[in-house]
Structure 1
């Protein structure tokens, strides 16, 4: 124990310093018009950030004079302003593809990274393409770039005879900083010179160090600013028309309001009243034959924007809020469900987040979902009754995150779900630490988590989980090792998502990368990983994998890569048997998989990706292979199409099919599975504020069983005739979204969406791609939705004026 604390002290106390550039800005009373022309006198007085150096691929190389970058900064009581000049000796070749917000496409870009606390750990990033398309994201060392974060800011560009220019206005409402009269911000500027596939930064971002946030320069000069009240209202109204072959066309009008309020310059409250998520992206549902639920991406803006604090500790899976009901009521004889809601309605939600001047981050998220009932009908008498499937519930996340020394943190997180009445309640707490040496050479991180679950007539469950990781995080060669322990009763599923428990694991990894281009490669890295996992009860090994991956980019900016993973020993699967009997398991044979990928330079009008894979198990006829092909074509700066075809095949795979509760027999099946996924993405962009988008997906996956088996107590299987059900599965899904979006004012948007979708599940089917496609898009299966949504951004200060 003494040696452990000594190691912690070393991590906290190691010192080392790097030279940082600094820039001083001045206050202006002159009105700055955002037009990309720089014709205000304030720009003549502003200091210039220049002498950029290459970030990637040739790290540290000076920016050529003929393609140099210069940035000026000024500010007033409302915002901070930036004027950037990107010189280019071939301005007719500047790439400037138009696209929707947060997707710059194939275009040159300039960006501003701002850290209002200068603590090296969080950047508010604002990027503008040469076509005038905005991108913004929140960057943290733990989560990387979170592009779901959106802010209200302005930016305009001009193509000139010497290159291009960008003028940017970032209101203080889009930033977080202390209340000090004299501000010192961390800042960096970047240029993405797309034609050369080169990134430049004002302050050097040293690739030898795996830490970007603490390699900013310094912005001085912002003093005594009188920031306006940060109160924003975003009322919305939406109209939906729904129809299908089984019901008449039905209209639905919705309305509500989002509220954003700056409690002070550091803390913000976000609230949604009467939420409407009807225009969010569809979920890519699959045929799930495994023992674990499918995890979906979060597409609802409230739960994706500014949630970095709440994601710490991996305890928060926002799809639980307003997700599927948690109670399945009993049916009596001759009864059936006539109405069973698939989702629980969200009534309201709010979040408060921010950080004090001493580096303490505080976050609170709270949401309430409504009581939900199913309708059950007696098939003989016709009488109906209601059954509770989800009580009124409150979801809460509380976070404290103390940062120190600009690159380390200690955090406390608590998640709590309280359901009314006898519903299941869950509470999970976690303590985390992430410690780095001053030069970001070594990292020590870990956590301790505790869970408590009660309700629904079950005994209270108390469990815990803990992990630790140590590694070198700088230079060409890097390495790390770690371990994790999860007890049998640890359960975070009420607010998070958990697939396994009751195991312990060990892992190690090593990597090599080039830091500067060679004669052959612009980028080259190799990664090796060893992972082993053991069941806590029996000590049997659940996983024993070796992984090797190689990635490279040639001098022509084409990507090549490949790798393999191998499990050289038999393992034991305690989850596939789907039983409460913790001693049952399925033996899994040895396996080896390999893959290759190629991705051509996206600067070309035509580009494509190619990714084949193959795997074989130590069992006769048990193989798997797949192929992914993705061609894309940019017809113009306004119009492009991307197509992707994915095919995968599994032969003689083994999986659960059923059980007999009387005899306690568990049945497995040997199956062949084929999966086809066709997707098409298209966009036509009129200008940086107006665009059309097309997204369609056809998913087909079917599994046919060749033989059924009885699972033995030693994990082996023997043929059986006791199982006679048809477990063949065919899932056929279609989704099409065609949308028009117009940002008619900052933060204000009109969206028009046409969507049709269908999903079919069958046990009897034809194994034919064309036949299944025709069946799923049949007019009797399609659901049609037409919707119009208007959101309007209102600044309280504008109302005062």
Structure 2
């Protein structure tokens, strides 16, 4: 089997090696081609605005210069687009107007699938987009995109400036129409959606994009070099923008919501209602204040909960709108994890340790109550980005009752807590930057030594050369914990990488370390500390079609791992990765990993200074995907992992996911996965007094089913359904061990039952109607079951019956929010 895999690896790498010399030559040719140089156009100011109706039939559009001669980004980077595109720009004192004509010889073949807002990446439809950078620095700005079917998407550059985030939502207008020789997009972007400097005459960075879905061609007005790894710093110029003033950017979005909930712990349904407000205020032309007062996040998508047998915390994605929108600046330094705010109280589990012999916990809230949150962010004319974030959660208490006397007492599980963050980010030439960041968590609990104040200060930087082919980047941080009566904790961490990070051939060295006392987890997320790693990465990218290959990336890496304190070797790892997209848009992903010395795992024992030695390991997985633009598509993934040990340990998984696009309005996606770990060994218990750590031999099987479907009534009205069932069981084989100081195991007798059978069931049915710009009504039904038992079920049907017998929670909610813009209100008055 290993011999066959090695042969497959060699075959996957051949296209990369064959194209290496060709790619280097292509780069020089592009630099000499006038078609690929930076383009420019002058803006034309108007006094009468065009009607946004998707027609472009008004003569006023003819006053504008024409942006045409688009260049392919993919598949044939640098070649002229096969489809003619013409774009015109106008502006007045309140907005910028964009009219785009996408010519197509076969308009009846244009893909027109409908989707939800910001669904552009998965949308099976032709699309048009504009990148705007009012500071013309290649870093700050926004992307506005509309599909032929009218679906809007808007994005801003991520903190690393290499991609774009759709967590930002702006209020702007667009209309589209299909005509006899192609399709039209007409866009109005109010200045309230942009941040731009005060200047009599301005030059903005701008670029236009077009995607023809049936041929997968992506083209842009200004040429974008795919080999630099960034698109937003390849902008053309829009000059002669005169006498425009940054408007008063003040908007409010009040909301009301109502919930009807029935859970198995209450005999009657409970009814609650809420009201609150989101506020946006432009402090000046560069900075914006965002605030949320008495927020309600009850309608966000349910988390994909799992059975966690590892020593590490499960990280869940942020889904609350306020903590997703406009937070790119706060991602600097990688020390901010917004799910900490409003998470489980710090002392949630301490309550159970303080119970008397006749006491029980009758009430213990699982989430802290968020009072408010505020963020201020923006960037000065000199390129200095400033971000200030603050949020406050209320004191939380659990109720403990004496079952004999009936007396109740309150136990504080989380004091009044303030979370704050400050970011300074200076942009420099060549898309380089340097940042300073600080987070602080203050807890109002002077009399309780279990609580403390936490502070993390850090920096992030990236220095790139003029060609953006070479870079040196890194992060460094210091953590401090301040206690009342005990010694304070200090720690440090850093991550540096340097090398050739652009172009087809890339080579990179990475050094990463964290001390045993470093801890950023009060406001950030870190899986583990006390590590010292050296890594070398080499990769080759194919950007132009070659043979039957559309594009590909092949990489090799080697990692050497140690503890930071003491400096002991813990393992080494070789990795191979190959991603290939074929001309028919099918994709193949191949992964392989080999640990020749096994691993000394210092985290699985859960006790400082102890480690468990795993034998040498080999893992591989293959993922295949068909063309997703077809009516029927899908993917298959197979993985296998082998650990050489006396226990015959291995694991494998299989998954498949068909997708049906039944109409342009209705789609259905199903994902199935089964994972099995055979003779897995892990921590089960410890005896602190005798310093004994127990491990157990177990079989772990996980089955996950997900069904997602959506019906799109229009670009502003849609119904979506998401159903997920997760079933995982840890079946211990009555074979237990004690951990020895050299990482080996010795047989042990243990009578406790550690078997665990876990189910998570979620249904999220959501109807959304955007009835006005920035305003929407949403109706959500949630159905959930979370059950865990020591009884193991081997039959799927029997497991399902037991899960439904444990009781479910049903929630039906209505939320209405309305967007008020001060400039619009003033115009109407």
TM over 0.5: yes
Please, which of 393, 415, 421 is the counterpart of residue 391 of structure 1? 415
Please, which of 454, 472, 484 is the counterpart of residue 426 of structure 1? 454
Q: Is 1:796–2:816 an aligned residue pair?
A: no
- Where does residue 82 of structure 1 map in the other structure? 98
Please, which of 711, 720, 730 is the counterpart of residue 748 of structure 2? 720
CA distance in 1, matches of 2:786, 2:162: 34
CA distance in 2, matches of 1:447, 1:695: 38
Provide the secondary structure at the position in 1 that maps to 2:50: coil
CA distance in 1, matches of 2:524, 2:690: 35
User: Is the 8 Å Cα contact of residues 549 and 583 (structure 2) preserved in structure 1?
Assistant: yes
- Where does residue 327 of structure 2 map in the other structure? 307
Please, which of 168, 188, 195 is the counterpart of residue 214 of structure 2? 195
User: Is the 8 Å Cα contact of residues 362 and 401 (structure 1) preserved in structure 2?
Assistant: yes
- Where does residue 538 of structure 1 map in the other structure? 566
- Where does residue 619 of structure 2 map in the other structure? 593
- Where does residue 569 of structure 1 map in the other structure? 597
Moved more, 464-473 or 673-682: 464-473
- Alpha-carbon deviations, 1:681-733, whole Å to 9, x = none? 10000111100000010000001111111011111111101x22111111101
Provide the secondary structure at the position in 1 that maps to 2:219: strand
Provide the secondary structure at the position in 2 that maps to 1:435: strand
In the TM superposition, 1:337-486 aligns within 5 A as 337-422=361-446, 423-455=451-483, 457-486=485-514
Please, which of 280, 284, 294 is the counterpart of residue 260 of structure 1? 280
Distance verdict in 2 for CA 1:543–1:163, change over 3 Å:
farther
- Where does residue 336 of structure 1 map in the other structure? 360
Provide the secondary structure at the position in 2 that maps to 1:214: coil
- Where does residue 116 of structure 2 map in the other structure? 100
TM-superposed deviation, 1:661: 2.0
- Alpha-carbon deviations, 1:25-76, whole Å to 9, x = none? 1111112221111133321111111000100111011012xx2111111111
Name structure 1 gaps, 5 residues minimum.
1-15
- Where does residue 298 of structure 2 map in the other structure? 278
Moved more, 557-566 or 293-302: 557-566
Q: Is 1:515–2:543 an aligned residue pair?
A: yes
- Where does residue 156 of structure 1 map in the other structure? 175
In the TM superposition, 1:614-693 aligns within 5 A as 614-619=640-645, 620-693=647-720
- Alpha-carbon deviations, 1:443-485, whole Å to 9, x = none? 0012321111022654200111122210102222111002122
CA distance in 1, matches of 2:197, 2:187: 22
CA distance in 1, matches of 2:357, 2:248: 62
CA distance in 2, matches of 1:156, 1:532: 55
CA distance in 2, matches of 1:85, 1:79: 20
User: Is the 8 Å Cα contact of residues 179 and 357 (structure 1) preserved in structure 2?
Assistant: no
Moved more, 621-630 or 764-773: 764-773
CA distance in 2, matches of 1:566, 1:700: 29
CA distance in 2, matches of 1:142, 1:109: 23
Q: Is 1:229–2:248 an aligned residue pair?
A: yes
Provide the secondary structure at the position in 2 that maps to 1:577: coil
Distance verdict in 2 for CA 1:243–1:179, change over 3 Å:
same
- Where does residue 22 of structure 2 map in the other structure? none
Provide the secondary structure at the position in 2 that maps to 1:614: strand
CA distance in 2, matches of 1:361, 1:495: 21
User: Is the 8 Å Cα contact of residues 162 and 229 (structure 2) preserved in structure 1?
Assistant: no
User: Is the 8 Å Cα contact of residues 196 and 246 (structure 2) preserved in structure 1?
Assistant: no
CA distance in 2, matches of 1:190, 1:249: 51
- Where does residue 602 of structure 1 map in the other structure? 628
TM-superposed deviation, 1:142: 4.0
CA distance in 2, matches of 1:120, 1:143: 11
Name structure 2 gaps, 5 residues minimum.
1-30
- Where does residue 3 of structure 1 map in the other structure? none
- Alpha-carbon deviations, 1:658-684, whole Å to 9, x = none? 011221110001111000010011000
- Where does residue 70 of structure 2 map in the other structure? 52
TM-superposed deviation, 1:333: 2.4
CA distance in 1, matches of 2:427, 2:294: 36
User: Is the 8 Å Cα contact of residues 162 and 230 (structure 2) preserved in structure 1?
Assistant: no
TM-score by length of 2: 0.92
- Where does residue 122 of structure 1 map in the other structure? 140
RMSD: 1.4
- Where does residue 130 of structure 2 map in the other structure? 112
Give the count of matched residue pairs: 780
